[in-house]
Each structure stands twice: as structure tokens, then as C-alpha cells.
């Protein structure tokens, strides 16, 4: 039999677990949604943190405080076990029952030991509800509670430092992708530059060849004073007559230009 305890009208719970002698609503409980006094069986709940919660989450928290009172213990795991059993007996939603832990418990980074304890507590009760659901209802609780497993894993990863590791790996992959993309862009620009140089080389070679052929054909190209010997004869260039030099230069430039264009086109 559950105790006949006056339930404040602000609360959504319909019954009170054994061990509790009274329930009051307080404006502030120092950051916790509820607390109990084991020697008297009295429970106080926070108006801001407890009252807005759904009924089944309120049931879970009240039952947790009852577990402390009944077993006269500070052990959070014992109180959790009692609360889960009570909520199952009440036929409450397993989803809302575990949400009472993931939504209400704090997982502070500045208090690693408390964070670790909260993760272990939540995982323990999640597994108990999962086993009950698979055995009793013949289905996987994950099907009806999407996100809870991910939520617990998020806390586990954060506590173990895995979130930073994963973030580092993601950043490394993104940086590598950016580098490959930049390299790709650079290769395109390099190929374009080579092609442009090849075109310029071909054009220059053709011009040089034309100049050489013009000279060979008896043309009289314009020469500066430096290119003309004192007796009026063309001054040799690299030991060759100017006509021969321009022909060789033109053919060489054309050959180089064609070679550069050919190899660039194959890439």
C-alpha cells in the first residue's frame, strides 16, 4: 500500500511511493529538482525545475527520493533501481522514465567525477529498461526511444575526451579536403599556364622562321648600326651569318613550342 500523502495541486503525480510522509513545493532547492530528509520522510520539490516536468518524469524523481528514504542510504544507484522498478509497476512510459535522468541530471565538464557517475547511472538504468522491454514487450527500446542511445554516447564521449578526438579528426579531414581542392585548382592553373606558354612559343617560332625565310629569300631586313660591320656587310651572330642564325633560331623555337604543347595536352 502506498502512503496516503497530501499531493500539492501543482504536481502531476497521482500516487506517492512508500516511505514518503509529506511533499512540499519550494521556490529554490539549490539547483536540484527534489531532495529528501531520510529521518523524517519529507520530500521537497523545486517549483521551477520539477513542476513543469511531465507526470512520468515526476514519478521517477519522487520514487528516487523514496528509494533514499526506504533504504536509508545516500547511494544513488540503489535509489535509481527502486525508482525504475516503481515506474515499471506503475506502467509508465519507459521513454519518459529514462528521460527523467537524461533531461534532469547534470553532466558538468567542470566536475569530471560527478559527470562520470551520472553517465554510469544513466547507462545502468537504460540497460535495465532495455532488457525489460526486450523481455516483456519483445521489442527493442531503441525503436521507441530514438536519440536516447545517442544522448548517452554523447556524454560518454565527452567524458572520455572522445568528442575532442572526433572533432580533431573531422578538422583534419576537412583540412585535407581543402588542400586537395587547392592542389587541384593549382594544377588546372599550371596546365593553363603551360598551354599559354606553348601557344606563345609556337607563335614566336613561326615568326622567327618567317624572318629567317625572308632573309634567305633575298629580303633586306632592317639592321641597326651594331648589326652592321664597318664595311657594310652583316655582322656574324654566334659565328654564323645572320640568315643562317635566324633560320636555326626559328626552327628551334618552333620545335620547343610544339614539344611543350604536345606534352601539356597529354596531361
| pLDDT tens for each residue of 105-140 | 766 677 788 888 888 888 888 888 888 887 776 655
Residue that wins the pLDDT comparison between 144 and 92: 92
Angle at alpha carbon of residue 214, lines to 213 and 216, rounded to 5° = 60
The pLDDT > 70 percentage for the chain reads 62
Q: What is the pLDDT of residue 162?
A: 46
Residue 180 reports pLDDT greater than 60: yes
What pLDDT, on a 0 to 100 scale, did the predictor assign at position 146? Answer: 45
**What is the average per-residue pLDDT within 34-44?**
94
| Residue whose entry in the numeric block shows the C-alpha cell 545502468 | 124
pLDDT at 210: 57
CA distance 94 to 149: 13
Pairing of strands 34-37, 22-26: unpaired
Strands (E), the chain: 22-26, 34-37, 42-46
State the DSSP code for 46: E
Amino acid at each position: 500500500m502506498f502512503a496516503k500523502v497530501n499531493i500539492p495541486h501543482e504536481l502531476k503525480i497521482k500516487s506517492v511511493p512508500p516511505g514518503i510522509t509529506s511533499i512540499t513545493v519550494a521556490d529554490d532547492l539549490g539547483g536540484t529538482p527534489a531532495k529528501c530528509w531520510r529521518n523524517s520522510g519529507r520530500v521537497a520539490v523545486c517549483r521551477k525545475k520539477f513542476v513543469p516536468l511531465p507526470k512520468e518524469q515526476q514519478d521517477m524523481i519522487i520514487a528516487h527520493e523514496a528509494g533514499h528514504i526506504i533504504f536509508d542510504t545516500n547511494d544513488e544507484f540503489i535509489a535509481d533501481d527502486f525508482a525504475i522498478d516503481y515506474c515499471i509497476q506503475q506502467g509508465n512510459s519507459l521513454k519518459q522514465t529514462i528521460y527523467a535522468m537524461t533531461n534532469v541530471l547534470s553532466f558538468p565538464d567542470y566536475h569530471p567525477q560527478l559527470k562520470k557517475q551520472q553517465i554510469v547511472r544513466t547507462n545502468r538504468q537504460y540497460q535495465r529498461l532495455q532488457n525489460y522491454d526486450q523481455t516483456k514487450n519483445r521489442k527493442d527500446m531503441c525503436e521507441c526511444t530514438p536519440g536516447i542511445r545517442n544522448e548517452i554516447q554523447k556524454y560518454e564521449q565527452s567524458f572520455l575526451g572522445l568528442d575532442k578526438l572526433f572533432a580533431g579528426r573531422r578538422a583534419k579531414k576537412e583540412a585535407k579536403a581543402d588542400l586537395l581542392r587547392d592542389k587541384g585548382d593549382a594544377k588546372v592553373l599550371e596546365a593553363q599556364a603551360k598551354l599559354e606558354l606553348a601557344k606563345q612559343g609556337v607563335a614566336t617560332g613561326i615568326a622567327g622562321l618567317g624572318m629567317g625565310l625572308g632573309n634567305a629569300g633575298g629580303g633586306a631586313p632592317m639592321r641597326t648600326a651594331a648589326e652592321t660591320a664597318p664595311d657594310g656587310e652583316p655582322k656574324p651572330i654566334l659565328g654564323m651569318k645572320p640568315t643562317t642564325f635566324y633560320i636555326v633560331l626559328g626552327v628551334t623555337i618552333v620545335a620547343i613550342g610544339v614539344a611543350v604543347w604536345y606534352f601539356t595536352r597529354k596531361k
